Structure 1
């Protein structure tokens, strides 16, 4: 194989490997990070202490509970304020953190079960256990009318039926791609470096391409966050959704920074390692140890 052909094939393999880096990281995150129930709950658990998330939940749950409680007369006008204050206080208790984790676990299990089996229809979650915990906490705090809050099995749709088939197909693709894309990127990069005529240059190019892939991944996450917040309805808290987005994509952001740092470090180290080769160091040492030539003596003039 000619050196020109080897160089072209090496460049193509390295370019393809670098192109697969951000997609491989994204697929692996979706296939292994989002499908782990315990990791999902642990990732979202700190949000139970986020002020924006607390306020959004207090407003949503408070509105729902206030609609369920009907009191005639002037006292009925004070019920929504009592309920909202009570729910807001509840979000600052350990019981809320427990209910938050339980709700996230139930939602994750329901969605994942629907994506992996062949069920049809909307994916729903029963909020009765969460409502019961809220009611018990309100009654324990002697909140007026807390005992009149009904605890009913309310099925809340978290995944519409019309989106289930499309998401199921995409999920199966991600499960396969989450393993094979990163492996393919490594194999292609190794093959490109092995075929290269100038392997040092190939390693530098691969490292810089990896760093560029990490930068593109980080940029994509920032653009995705912006687009997600722009498409929200007006009655949804942007700060709360932003906090959830940041929590879910935290691993990806870390991966993007690691790819960027690793690529730049390997590229710089490989580029300057040629100056540290033993033969170069030996020649430099010999050159510095060689004696300097003696200065030329002026010719001696002999008198006749």
Structure 2
């Protein structure tokens, strides 16, 4: 009978261990998905977040070069070099220049074209490198994001419309500034350049329907998925027979999930750049990708740091020799605190007794406040997690 009871008990432990392992694995996967979902939802729905993501690109050399090439092409398409050369030849004839010289001017269309291209390119680069471009870039991206939000949600408060099933960034103000500077430089033909709208397509219409579906899913799970991940992890820890070890395992699982996600971002960057269309600016595409996932990487580091702190905390409250030694080492230093305070003439009064009497509740309150801070902080960074952990440790040290 005793052997049967022992076997039943052991089987029960194995089932609990298996259930705990499965729940912890699912929680780790959900944590990975939650980080991505929250990031994607914030990028799509939060205009300020999106602008903060792409605004630094205005000073990126690769982005500046890509915009320079696009604007230069748009401006040159509006300048009739043949007509300009003919005007020069006619002007030379009217001023009594020998016919051979006028004919020679007519044959200089190649060098003149190259000179105009160089002048336009240099002028565009100066404009794109100025502070004015940063303002234009930020405003254009803000309007484009409003158009994306309108296209995906059907909201009517956006002043930008999606035309021809495309959402684009218009940098026409840059063309206008270039036009004015070319005229000031003596290129009178630039004054005839009409208003040119140079667009950067950020979304194709064929993708809008799919993204609408994805957005709806993100709206449903984006805010709840982190909570679900925590609840599943808690269920996995509660199911386990050795709950402290299960907590360490859950924290390590989340930490490994964040490592995997960070690695996936790096691999996907290479895949993305390798599949760009022919002639695309890889430097600009890489810079845009890095900017777009910057906050995602920050979230990965924050969640990874929180998981690592949790695993270390669960380990150091355990019965292992390193954990006991560490607790004993710090407890001796902390225990001497009141004696040091008294020897320094500092009277603790009733506060010391109160803290000692309710130290368990004070510890629980510290952990609760730390949890509230992390869960209510919109976009906690790794440093927020680290400083929160430091403050918690200090709170436990002085209680």
What TM-score, normalized by structure 2, do the two folds share? Answer: 0.64
Could you tell me which of 206, 219, 238 is aligned with 2:282?
238
Give 1:177 deviation, angstroms: 2.3
What's the RMSD between the two structures over aligned residues? 2.8
Q: 3-state DSSP class of the match of 1:233?
A: coil
Alpha-carbon distance between aligned partners in 1 of 2:13 and 2:247, rounded to the nearest angstrom: 17
Query: Given that residues 53 and 295 in structure 2 are in contact (C-alpha distance below 8 angstroms), is that contact kept between their aligned partners in structure 1?
Result: no
Give 1:138 deviation, angstroms: 2.3
1:254 is aligned to 298
Give 1:167 deviation, angstroms: 1.8
1:299 is aligned to none
Range with bigger deviation, 212-221 or 251-260: 251-260
**Which structure 2 residues correspond to residues 1-304 of structure 1 after superposition, within 5 A?**
2-72=12-82, 73=85, 74=109, 75-117=112-154, 122-125=165-168, 127=170, 129-131=172-174, 133-135=176-178, 138=181, 142=185, 144=187, 145-152=189-196, 157-275=201-319
* 1:218–1:170 distance in 2 versus 1, CA, 3 Å: same
Q: 3-state DSSP class of the match of 1:179?
A: coil
Query: Given that residues 44 and 50 in structure 2 are in contact (C-alpha distance below 8 angstroms), is that contact kept between their aligned partners in structure 1?
Result: yes
Alpha-carbon distance between aligned partners in 2 of 1:37 and 1:235, rounded to the nearest angstrom: 30
What TM-score, normalized by structure 1, do the two folds share? Answer: 0.82
How many matched pairs? 281
Give 1:244 deviation, angstroms: 1.0
For residues 118-161 of structure 1, what are the alpha-carbon distances to aligned partners after superposition, in whole Å with 9 as ceiling and x for unaligned? 98950344737435543465258536243222104567654322
Alpha-carbon distance between aligned partners in 1 of 2:317 and 2:282, rounded to the nearest angstrom: 49
Q: 3-state DSSP class of the match of 1:245?
A: helix
* 1:77–1:61 distance in 2 versus 1, CA, 3 Å: same
Alpha-carbon distance between aligned partners in 1 of 2:227 and 2:203, rounded to the nearest angstrom: 32
Structure 2: runs of 5 or more not aligned: 1-8, 86-108, 156-161, 333-399
Query: Given that residues 128 and 152 in structure 1 are in contact (C-alpha distance below 8 angstroms), is that contact kept between their aligned partners in structure 2?
Result: no
Query: Given that residues 52 and 239 in structure 1 are in contact (C-alpha distance below 8 angstroms), is that contact kept between their aligned partners in structure 2?
Result: yes
Q: 3-state DSSP class of the match of 2:318?
A: helix
For residues 19-55 of structure 1, what are the alpha-carbon distances to aligned partners after superposition, in whole Å with 9 as ceiling and x for unaligned? 1111110010001233211221122111111111111
* 1:214–1:147 distance in 2 versus 1, CA, 3 Å: same
Structure 1: runs of 5 or more not aligned: 286-304
Alpha-carbon distance between aligned partners in 2 of 1:24 and 1:88, rounded to the nearest angstrom: 42
